[in-house]
Structure 1
Amino acid sequence: MIAERGPSTVQRLKAKLLRQSSEWDSWYAGLEGERRVGRELERLSPQGWRVLHGIEKGNGGDIDHLLIGPGGVFSINTKNHRGASVWVGDSMAKINGGKPRPYAAASQAEADFVRGVLGRYCAFKVPVEPALVFVGIASLDRAATQYSVRIYHEREVASLGPLTGKLTPDQVEQVFAVARHRRVWLRA
């Protein structure tokens, strides 16, 4: 596990007490954000949704979450920016008015990748949409032209639950069976 390669609990505590930043700080913040979003997604299970977390890709990256259910498949990218003001445009995001970050474009590319992988193994067209979920932020502003990526606060992600009409229960199970096999993603 990657966490085992990072600093020990004692080392992290010492750095925190001395107010020293660590190269692992952002990784741990990201992990905490993913866990929080994961808990929200798990709450959708009673509505027929299946969830996968931390899907490792062959290029060394990962997919934070896949949500598979009656409303289709959502490739979910989680960003933890505690206390920040976030603006999201068509392809970029700005955190506290800073330099543009390609969050929306990366989310769209990830959904395209997921669609291609699942499409190779399913006998039907798999509808995949990108979603970008921000954790711990103070405010979220979406550009009026931003329609290609779903943008949420962590607690808003539950609004995906009532979506229906894209996959039958059998198709949900078929997509989930394919998606949970590690080889599918590592070979892509």
Structure 2
Amino acid sequence: MELIILLVVIAFILRLPKVKGILGEKSVALFLSKLDPKEYRVFHDLYIPTAKGKTTQIDHLIISRYGIFVIETKNYKGWIFGSEKNKYWTQVIYQRKERFYNPIHQNYGHIKVVQDYLQLEDSDVFHSMIAFSMRATLKKIEVHDTRTIVTYIPRISKMISKHQKQLLSHFQANQFVEKLEQLKRSDRNERKKHVQTVKKTLSEEKKKVRENVCPKCDGNLVNRKGKYDVFKGCSNFPNCRYVTKKTS
């Protein structure tokens, strides 16, 4: 009986979004460890300061002669549809559809922060990688930018190894590695500040939602009926497309 209870507790813990995210990032780290350490310097879970005095969290970042690879991991399941031009992508699980922010746009923001931090003028040295877990099925993903890769986590090291055009000198690559190493040494305080900022932002957003105020534009939140459920959406739609999770 105790074993059954333990297994139920473990199964519950593994279903938590935060735990899923951690497991997804750990699996990426495992596959990236297959890269030649002489050619690729891999960083995990970086907190990089922005020009606005905040920090941006980067899942994985790789410095090499073949460019700088910035990787965003998505531990989603179900069918995934999206285009590099769309603001939102769609996740389909059975008949239920959920929207999530375009991860290519999200990672573009990460790349800009890294570019500013490294004081790099040339953005062509960056490769954007979106890595989904094998729980997802990439059904229709439209990407035309050759520096953007949408793939599955087990394939990331192979996709990185395909890039053989030298974009950085050894000297440049070593400079960037040293700058990121310095960041890692002072990362503990940045991590703490980042977590505090995220918690504060989420708290403020929840407070506004409780008061039926849109966190994005301060418009009114109203109940709307979708195809599968009821949700709260901004009254300023379509100029503002903020929505909350279902309310009934």
Instruction: State TM-score, norm by structure 1.
Output: 0.75
Aligned CA RMSD, in angstroms, stands at 3.2
Equivalent residue, structure 1, for 2:71: 76
Contact 1:79/1:132 (<8 A) preserved: yes
Does structure 2 conserve the Cα–Cα contact (< 8 Å) formed by 1:107 and 1:149?
Answer: no
**Unpaired runs of at least 5, structure 2:** 194-248
Which amino acid counterpart does residue 127 of structure 2 have in structure 1? E
User: Conserved in 1, the CA contact under 8 Å of 2:47 and 2:58?
Assistant: yes
Deviation at 1:93, TM superposition (A): 2.4
- 2:153 paired with 1:160: no
1:120-176 Cα offsets, whole Å, 9 max, x none, are 6xxx74622321111123421353344263211112212212423111222221111
Partner of 1:5: none
Question: For residues 58-110 of structure 1, what are the alpha-carbon distances to aligned partners after superposition, in whole Å with 9 as ceiling and x for unaligned?
Answer: 4354110001112210111111124x222231143222262321122111111
**For 1:54 and 1:85, how far apart are their aligned partners in 2?**
27
The equivalent residue for 2:111 is 111
Q: How many residues align?
A: 171
Is the contact between residue 48 and residue 114 of structure 2 (CA under 8 Å) also seen in structure 1? Answer: no
The structure 1 residue matched to 2:92, chosen from 91, 96, 104, is 96
TM-score (norm 2): 0.58
Secondary structure of 2:117 counterpart: helix
CA shift in 2, pair 1:14/1:146, >3 Å = farther
Counterpart of 2:219 in structure 1 is none
Q: CA contact under 8 A between 1:93 and 1:104: conserved in structure 2? A: no
- Contact 1:114–1:128, Cα closer than 8 Å, also in 2: no
The whole-number CA distance in structure 1 between the counterparts of 2:46 and 2:60 is: 7
Q: Among residues 76, 86, 92, which one is paired with 2:80 in the alignment? A: 86
How far the C-alpha of 1:14 sits from its partner, in A, is 6.0
Secondary structure, in 3 states, of the residue corresponding to 1:44? coil
- Flag the structure with more relative contact order, 1 or 2, with Cα contacts below 8 A and sequence separation at least 6: 1
C-alpha contact (below 8 Å) 1:131/1:149 kept by paired residues: yes
Say if 2:48 is the partner of 1:51. no
Equivalent residue for 2:59, pick from 61, 64, 67: 64
| Structure with the higher fraction of residues in strand conformation | 2
Q: Conserved in 2, the CA contact under 8 Å of 1:52 and 1:67? A: yes
Could you tell me how far apart the structure 2 residues matched to 1:112 and 1:141 are? 28
For structure 1, the 5+ residue unaligned runs are: 1-12
Change (3 A) 1:76 1:106: same
Q: Residues 20 and 47 (structure 1 numbering): CA distance in 2 closer, same or farther, change over 3 Å?
A: closer
Q: Give the distance between the partners of 1:105 and 1:25, measured in 2 at CA.
A: 25
